[in-house]
Structure formats: structure tokens, C-alpha cells
A and B are shown apart, each in its own frame.
Chain A
Amino acid sequence: MNRPDVYASTWRLPVIVWQCLFFVGPLLFMIAVSFFLVKNYRMQEAFEMANWSRMMTRGYFWDAYWYTLGLAAASTVLATCLAFPAAYGLAFKVSESTRRWIIFLLIIPFFTSYLVRTFSWYVLLAESGVVNAILGKLGFGPYTMLNSAFGTLVGYMTLTLPLVVILQTLSLANVNRSLIEAAHNLGAGRMRTIFTVIVPSAKVGLIIGAVFCFILSFGDFVAPYYLGGSKPPTLPILIIDTTKSGQQWPRAAVVAVVMMVTLLTAAFTAITMAYRKRR
């Protein structure tokens, strides 16, 4: 192609221009900001390690880091385990149209305000809330469920569970049925079939579901703030506090860059595992 192809470029360029300006641009600039300085409440362009050395040597930063990582990992394991039986049922035990309907139902939450749903959990789980009232009738409780890791995990599940179920269902539904029948014919029991045939065949989809769950939980500030009581704060809460109250954008940028590196490492490791050939 010697002449510039106007027609092809018309369709190809918009996304390149837009994403470079407003996606790659901001992310690269944020890395630069992490080296800037703040003097008299104004940000100055500079190249100093001050923010990095300050954040990296603070105990509260590392507390927040390990706490966030632990919560996100717990959320990933929990969501993967909770979603699997549902996805298994949807993929193998219901008709095609039922499956489509339930998936449609599971899409609905994505379009309802996550904030309002979190606030609903806040009043449902409160000391004098609905859940404790019901448990009280049955002779249990009351339990303190808010301002704890439990509350945060309920929030994370609200955010991630529907997505994980959908992704798992889609990957399980694509497992070759004749493999499963072959396993049954060769005398494998139900559990053995699940763990030696179905799970390995659907591995890529299951891992992608887990990766999305990890990314969403790791980056969410609503659940740890409103349901977890933000004690200790998680990294996203740290970003908000430093940005909103202290005007310390460079320090917030340090936290954000550390989060990005962590997520990239986690996602890369998981994807490599997903595509590794089975021996």
C-alpha cells in the first residue's frame, strides 16, 4: 500500500488517537507524577525519589499493602469456590434457555448502583439490621458483621460473584461433552470427573474469572470503606485520602503505581499458568 488509504485510516485511527491521548497518556503521566514534588500545596514537576522513599519506608503503607493483598486473595478464592457449583449447575444441569435467563438475571446487578447495593448491605448487616433480626428469631446472635473483614468480603462478593459465575459458566459450557461421557464410561465417579476432566478443560476460563475477581477486589474502595470500616485502610482508600484531603497527588501516584505493578504481576502469572501445557 503506497498511497495512504484514507478509508482504512478513518476506521483505524479514532481508537488509536483517543486511547493514546486519554488512556496511555494519563497512565504514563501518573508514573511521572510519582516523582513530582509538592511545595506550598502546589505540585511542581521534578524528578525526585522523595515520594518513593517516603512511602516505601512507612509502616502504614506496608500494612495497607499486605492487608489489601490478603483481602483480595481471600475474595478470589471465596468467589471461585462459591461460583463453581452454580456454574456447574448452569452449564450441565439446566436447559439452554434456563441458562440464558439466569445469565441475564446475573447481568442485571452490573447496572444497578454498586453504591446503593453496598449501602443496602450496610443496613442489612447492622447490629439492629434485618439479618440480625432474622437470626434473632431463630435464636442466634446478634453478631457484629460490619467494620470487619467479613463485611468487606460481603461487599467484594456483591461486586464480583455475578461476573465470576458468568465467566465460569461460559467456560464450563464449552467443555467437550464427549470427554465427560468418556470419563463416566471408563468408570470415573462424579467428583473424579469434575476434578480430572472438567476443571482442567475449563482451566483458562476459570483462571480468567479469578483474575477479574482479584483485579476488582484489589481496586475497590467502597466495600472496605463502608462495610469494612477502613481500619486498617486498604490501598484504594489510601489513594483517596492522600488525593482528596492532603492534595498529595504524587504520594497517591506512588500507591497507584505499586498497585499496577502488583496487578500486572498477578495477572501475568495467572495467564501463564492458564496457558501452560498439561503434561
Chain B
Amino acid sequence: MSDRLIKWLLWCYLGLLLVFVFSPILTSVIFSFNSDRFPTIPLGSFTLKWYQTIFDDPDVWSAARTSIFVSLCTATLATFIGFCTAYTDYRYGFRFKGAYLALALLPPTIPLIIMALAMLAWLSKLGISGRAWSVVIAHTVLCAPFAMGIIRLRLQQIDPDLESAAWNLGASEWSAMKTIIVPFARPALISAFCLTMAVSFDEFAVAWFVAGLNKTIPVLILEVLQGTTDPQIYAIGTFVFLTSITLVIIAQVFFMTRGRKPTAPA
């Protein structure tokens, strides 16, 4: 077979794959504006009534407030913990470092349903389950490794001589951290904040188990799904999609930011 044909076939295949990946996303956006109760083709007429329904629903508003609270707190904590871990890995070598990194990075490899059950049992034992804070605690565990990864990649690009130069010029470790490391890592910190926020905003299994009555948006979706097949799910889903995608694009933009060298004080 000729190279052109192969290339053409691979492009078609890639196209099909993207269709498979994006068709459920497009479906949800399209049918959120469709008037028929059961979504099929041919389409009904254009409508905003599903958006109207969720806009008038106090449950949706309270879930949205919980989600925003949870994801903001999670992003803050996860980014802080991720930064501490990334800096430790960047700067120090010590015994048991392998175990240290495993402890920090393993959470995403545990199935969410298992984390959900373990968290529910443990947080109930400690007497702190069923609150919005319970979700924050659990989500921070799940999100911190992502923050660590992003920030670690950024610290990789720093010139290691910069920090020692600052010490030689008399700066303490703390002020070198403040004037060199943190400014250099700032784009990655913002990027990690947005990404962990997006992850937390979407997570439903653990939130469903530990949230009690403080439902987040994904938990609300899960519960609506168990009852009905109602297109208002698509309207909520479209909002969630817009929120997440905005966060991801901001994260991507900051992640791509080229290293701006910290300027020397005059």
C-alpha cells in the first residue's frame, strides 16, 4: 500500500475516533435545546424550557452553591499540598523518597467507588461525614497528585543556580522561596488550581457517598438520572461543560506560558 493511502486511512480512523469521543458531548448540547421529551431524530423545535426548568429549581441552585464552595476549597488545598510535594521532590533527596512519592501520587490509581466507601466509613468514624467539608477532604486527596504533577513539570524548567545564587547573596531560604520559586511557579500554580477545580467540579462517586444532604451538581445529576430521563439533565450538563472547559482552557493557557525569568531587584 502506498504511504498516501495509509496516511488517508489513519486520518479517517482518527476522525471516527473523535466522532465517537465527541458525539455524546454534542448530543447533550443539541438536545438541551430540543423540545421533545424523549430525545430522538427528527428533532423537535428549538426551546429554552429545560434551561427555564433548572433556572427555577431551588435544588439546582443549592447544589451549584455547594459545588462552587467544594471545588474552590479543594483547589486551594490541593494546589498547596501539590506545591509542597513538588518542591520537596525538586529540591531534596532523602531516604524513603520512593515511598514518599508513592504516598503522594497513588490516589488516582484507586477506583473511585473504593475510595468512596473507605472515605464514608472513615469520615463517619471521625464524625465528620455528611458535610460539604467531607467532600472537600476527600476531593483534596484525589486532586493533589494532579497539582503536584503540573507544578513539578514547571519546577523542572527552573535554573537550579538561581536559588543557590540567592542564598550566596545572603537571602534566607524563605525569602528565596518568596522571590524566586513562587514567582517562577505562578503560571503552574494557577494552572493546577483550575485543573483541580475542574476535577472536583465533576467528581460524583465519592461526593455521592460522603456528601449526605449537601449534594453537589454531579450528585444531583446522578439522582435525577435514577428517576427520569429528562432533558433538563442536558441543560445542567451543558452548564457544567462550559464551566469545566473554561477552567481547562485557562489552565492550558497558563501551563503553556514560557518561562519568564524572575527579574533581579534593582
Q: Which residues of A are in contact with B by a Cβ distance under 8 Å?
A: 7-8, 10-16, 18-20, 22-27, 29-30, 33, 82, 85-86, 88-90, 93, 102, 104-109, 111-124, 126, 128-130, 133-134, 157-158, 161-162, 165, 190, 212, 215-216, 218-221, 226, 236, 239-240, 243, 249, 252-253, 256, 259-260, 263, 267
Contacts and interface: CB of A to CB of B under 8 A. Distances in A.
Contact of A88 (B10, B120, B241, B248): B10
Given A18-B141, A113-B240, A252-B117, A24 B24 contact: no
B141 A133 contact: no
B240 A116 contact: yes
Q: Tell me the interface secondary structure of chain B in the complex.
A: helix
B185 to A, nearest CB: 12
B75 interface: no
A105 B100 CA distance: 33
Interface residue range, chain B: 35 or more
Given A22-B138, A111-B244, A16 B109 contact: no
B61 interface: no
For A13, A115, A118, A128, which residue has the most chain B Cβ atoms within 10 angstroms?
A115
A-B interface, 10 closest residue pairs, ranked by CB to CB distance from nearest: A219-B111, A116-B237, A89-B10, A120-B24, A26-B122, A26-B118, A117-B24, A111-B244, A30-B118, A120-B27
B55 interface: no
For B6, B110, B121, which residue has the most chain A Cβ atoms within 10 angstroms?
B121
28 contacts: A8-B92, A11-B84, A14-B80, A14-B84, A14-B85, A15-B88, A18-B141, A19-B103, A19-B141, A19-B144, A22-B141, A30-B114, A85-B10, A93-B6, A102-B18, A105-B22, A109-B22, A113-B202, A116-B221, A119-B225, A120-B27, A128-B38, A130-B40, A158-B21, A158-B24, A243-B209, A256-B113, A259-B114
B205 interface: yes
Given A116-B241, A121-B24, 7 more contacts: A22-B140, A24-B103, A26-B115, A89-B14, A105-B21, A109-B21, A112-B244
